[in-house]
Amino acid sequence: MAWIAGLFISFSTLPCLPTLTSFHINMVVPTKKAMNQRLASWTLVVGLFVVSCVAELERFEHAGKPDGSLSFLVVGDWGRRGHYNQSQVAFQMGKIGEQLDIDFIISTGDNFYDNGLTGVDDPLFHQSFTDIYTAPSLQKQWYNVLGNHDYRGNAEAQLSPILTKMDNRWLCLRYFVLNAGPEIAEFFFVDTTPFVTKYFTDPEDHVYDWKAILPREKYLNNLLMEVESALGESRAKWKIVVGHHAIKSAGHHGNAKELNIHLLPLLQTYDVDLYINGHDHCLQHISSSDSGTQFMTSGGGSKAWRGDVSWWNPQELKFYHDGQGFMSVEMTPTEVSIKFYDVFGNVLHNWSSSKQLSFAI
C-alpha cells in the first residue's frame, strides 16, 4: 500500500474513526429480533466513535440460492416521487425481479431528488422509495450508496437506522463490503462524491452536507486505504466495486477525473471484474482496453437525458441507451450474465463472461 502514500502526498495522518461491527444478512426480510440487534449494533457504533481511532470497512453477508447462484438488480438516480417514469421502471423491476428470483437490489446513488432528505422524518423517503417499489419481488434487501444529490440534503439521515426501522429493506452507508453467495462475489461500495473537487470549490447554489467528511484529505486517504486492504484480502470469485460517479462514461457528466487518478489503479491492481455506477442518467457498458474491468452504468431510474452522449471509442463502448431502465446480474462461481432493460422491460443489451475455478494444491 506504499503507492497510496505517494499518491496522496498532501494528505496528513488518518482521522480518528470508529471500529465498526460486522453484520450478517442471510434473510430477505429480517426478523424483529434481527432488526433490534442491528439497531443495537448501530448504537454501539455511535458509542465507539468517540473512543476508537481504528477504522475498517463494515462488512455484511448475504446468502445466495441453494444451487450456488446469485441474482440481483441495479438501479440508480431514481428518487422522484414516481415521476419521470420512476414508477414504470419500478414496475418492470418487479416483473424481472420475480422472473429471476432476485436476492437483493443495489442502488448506485442519487436516491432522493433534488436535494436528498431533510431528515429521517422527510416524507420523501416513503414517497420515492417505500410507496414506489411495492412489487413482492422487490421486498428484498436494498444496498445503497450516496450520490451527489444525496449530499445536498441531510446525508446522515440516509445512514440512520431509523429509516431501516421504518422500512427494513433500507441499508445505506458511506462505504462497506458485501460478501454475497457467500464468496461468489464480493462487493465494495465506495462513497465517490467526496472525491469530486468541484463540489467543494464550486458548489454553485448548493449546500453540501460535509459534516462527517472534513477534513476531506483524511477521509479520502482512509477510504482508499481500507478499500485497497479489502480488495487485497478478497478471495471471492468475482470482485465488484460500486460507486455513484463514473470512471468511464460517454454520458453527460463523463469521466470523473479524480476517480481515474485515485480509484482506477486499485481496480487494475486487484483485478476487479465490474465497476458499477450511476450519475449519468443512462444505461451504458464500456469495456476497458487497458484492464479486464467492465464499466457498467445504471443511472436510468427516473429522469433521463435524451441525446446527451459524447463520442467514445467504438471498440470500448459496447452499449449506450439514453433513456430510463435498469440492469440485472446473474452469477455463479464461474459465470456472470448481465442484461440491461428499458422502461418497457425490453432487453437492450446483454453481456456474459466466465472464469475457471482455482484449486489450491
Digit-coded pLDDT (tens) for 233-254:
999 999 999 999 999 999 988 8
CB 77 within 8 A of CB 108: yes
In CATH, which of 3.60.21.10, 3.90.190.10, 2.130.10.10, 3.30.70.1230 is domain 69-354? Answer: 3.60.21.10
113 is in an annotated binding site: yes
245 is in an annotated binding site: no
User: What global pTM score does this model have?
Assistant: 0.84
219 is in an annotated binding site: no
279 is in an annotated binding site: yes
Catalytic residues: 253
Answer left, alpha or beta for residue 101, where phi above 0 means left and psi between -120 and 50 means alpha: left
The reported pLDDT for the residue numbered 183 is 82
Task: Give the bridge partners for 239, in sequence order.
Answer: 186
Give pLDDT tens digits along the chain (361 positions).
Answer: 434 333 333 333 333 333 333 333 333 344 444 444 444 344 333 333 332 333 578 999 999 999 999 999 999 999 999 999 999 999 999 999 999 999 999 999 999 999 999 999 999 999 999 999 999 999 999 999 999 999 999 999 999 999 999 999 999 999 999 999 988 999 999 999 999 999 999 999 999 999 999 999 999 999 999 999 999 999 999 999 999 999 999 998 889 999 999 999 999 999 999 999 999 999 999 998 777 899 999 999 999 988 888 888 888 999 999 999 999 999 999 999 999 999 999 999 999 999 987 654 4
77 is in an annotated binding site: yes
Q: What is the DSSP string of 226-274?
A: HHHHHHHH---SEEEEE-SS-SS-SSSS---HHHHHHTHHHHHHTT--E
110 is in an annotated binding site: yes
Digit-coded pLDDT (tens) for 45-101:
333 333 233 357 899 999 999 999 999 999 999 999 999 999 999 999 999 999 999
The reported pLDDT for the residue numbered 51 is 29
C-alpha cell of residue 352: 456474459
